[in-house]
Amino acid sequence: MLIDRRWRLMLPLFAAAACTVPALAQQPAPNGVAPVGGAAVKKPPKPKPAPPATTGTADPAAAAVGGAKPTLLGQYGDWGAYTASPGGKKICFAIAKPASSETTPPGKTRNPSYMFISSRPGEKVTDEVSIIIGYPFKPNSEATVAVGTTSFALYTQQDGAWIKNAAEEAHLIEAMRSGGNAVIKGMSAKGTHSTDVFSLKGLAQALDRTDQDCK
């Protein structure tokens, strides 16, 4: 089910954000939805259930993934590589926060944004790109990710974005592996434009590590 797949991917992201590791230290856990794979053009996923309460739990990260706390495989430049097995379903992911963020009009506040690239061997999914933007996107709007002079359209749902044409995802990954920065642009439900610049330093090594662990 779509809800189950999205829920499994959101949990390790929440857990990684809660862990005191170099990639995401001192960052609050973002709200997120996980990508949908399969079709050439991905469709917006169904609404997900609320995350489990972790108030008062000694280890909220472990509680969020049913005790399957994610393991840091390595820190590579600006990207952290992780693995976890929530519900016995193994997942590996590389994750980073933006090197810079700005809004138009300037000074608009929002939650932290992240880009993460996940592999789920049980579902035969490899290097699936997702963005958590930190605000609700304008309904039915598209966002973009640009690497150098090449731009890719993203479909949006709530505060998440994924590549619109799944057939282009491998090209996006290839461009990111050899690129310097990835620039994400989108519009909030209130009409605020955002630009997030993600450094791609260390991404190739992080993906090599997650691909190795989630063959």
Catalogue all structural domains in the chain, each as residue range(s) with its CATH number: 2-213 (2.60.40.1880)
pLDDT for position 68:
59
Residue 70 vs residue 1, higher pLDDT: 70
pTM here is 0.72
Q: Are 196 and 133 in contact (CB under 8 A)?
A: yes
Rounded to 10 degrees, the C-alpha dihedral 184/188/193/199 comes to -20
Number of Cβ within a 10 Å radius of residue 20: 8
With residues binned 3-state (H G I as helix, E B as strand, rest as coil), the percentages for the chain, rounded to 5, are 25, 35, 40
Distance of alpha carbon 94 from alpha carbon 114, whole angstroms: 10
When mean pLDDT is compared across 25-34, 130-139, 148-157, the lowest value belongs to 25-34
Q: Measure the CA–CA gap between 138 and 159, rounded to whole angstroms.
A: 9
List pLDDT tens digits, range 74-131. 999 999 999 988 878 889 999 999 999 999 999 888 888 999 999 999 889 999 999 9
